[in-house]
A and B are shown apart, each in its own frame.
Chain A
């Protein structure tokens, strides 16, 4: 169990640029989640995959955000035309099949939009 891996750890970009983050879940976990966390707040749900299917998207996930999980393994989160309000920690989590399993988080990608 190597844990949930996220890359890059930090990303600084200029407003209007596109950015893409990657998440590699724990290998036997079929459920994958993206959260966003701003300073002094708890994580907020963005979207959820079971295998390759994106089953739920939060209203926080505007049209500029898109997430994919091809082949049900790693996932990517892309933000197009970044805005300063997108600056946050983007967390990925995974959990194994079946119920009653808590989320295991990666160390996140910290995005700064200047």
Chain B
């Protein structure tokens, strides 16, 4: 079993839809949680960074962390075609991030 599990998709939604992306993990020591967006042939771009459990909102994006269930989510409201990318969840136990583990990524397509 991988430390971080993420549904690879692909996920296709119409423009304006609410998108839900999820990851589960097995290491209870993880306490820093991130979502990255990766466009084709580009490096991952940080979207959201949260510590411990709770919610964090930034514009159309909301990140949720439930440490008791070892489950994290990213919600995208009013999705746009420009949101089409691969979304990677990542997490680490230390603030130094040298133990960061990534999910395999979910490929999202938002159709106009």
Contacts and interface: CB of A to CB of B under 8 A. Distances in A.
Interface in A40-57: 40-45, 48, 50, 55-56
B43 A91 contact: yes
Nearest to A42: B102
Report, as a range, how many residues of chain B touch the other chain: 20 to 34
Given A42-B90, A42-B105, A103 B100 contact: yes
A15 interface: no
Contact of B95 (A33, A50, A99): A99
Interface stretch (A63-71, A74-82, A104-112): A104-112
Contacts of A100: 32, 51, 95
A110 B49 CA distance: 27
Interface of B: 4, 6, 8, 32, 34, 36, 41-46, 49, 51, 88, 90, 94-105
Interface of A: 4, 6, 31, 33, 40-45, 48, 50, 55-56, 91, 93, 95, 98-108, 110
19 contacts: A4-B43, A6-B43, A33-B98, A40-B8, A41-B104, A42-B105, A43-B102, A45-B99, A45-B100, A91-B44, A93-B43, A99-B96, A100-B51, A104-B46, A105-B44, A105-B45, A107-B41, A107-B42, A108-B42
